[in-house]
Amino acid sequence: MAYKSKNENGIWNMARRSRLEIYFEVLEVIGRGIDKPTQVMYKTNLSWITLQEIFEVLRSGGFIREEEMKSAKRYHVTEKGKNALNYYLRSLEGLVKVESFIR
């Protein structure tokens, strides 16, 4: 998946996210309270089809739960999802510390 970001000079860069990064980004967005599928899609810059695939993997793995509300769906991070996200974020912090130490 490609997404755009601006560097310090204001120039747009294209970067690729791994599937794992996308899973955790979706968990993080839902964990912040953005629970409507369309809003998650916009915040994570994913296509509808890709987001549905991600939701299915996260649901079947027990990382998110789906709540049916009248004609709309809402998503919530489960305890398992919170634990996985916390572990991932702690791992990233460790990598940043190691990288700054190497420089």
| Between residues 103 and 33, the one the model is more confident about | 33
Whether this prediction's pTM lies above 0.85 is answered by no
Which span out of 12-21, 52-61, 68-77 was modeled with the highest average pLDDT?
Answer: 52-61
Domains of the chain: 20-102 (1.10.10.10)
What single-letter amino acid sits at 82?
Answer: K
How many percent of the chain have pLDDT more than 90? 65
The angle that helices 48-60 and 19-31 make with each other, rounded to 10 degrees, is: 80
C-alpha neighbours within 13 Å on the C-beta side of residue 26: 31
Identify the H or E element spanning 30.
helix 19-31
* Mean of the per-residue pLDDT values of the chain: 86
CB–CB of 17/4 below 8 Å?
A: no
Count of positions (residues) in the chain: 103
Give residue 91's pLDDT: 86
Q: At residue 6, does pLDDT exceed 60?
A: no
Q: How confident is the model at residue 13 (pLDDT cuts 50, 70, 90)?
A: low
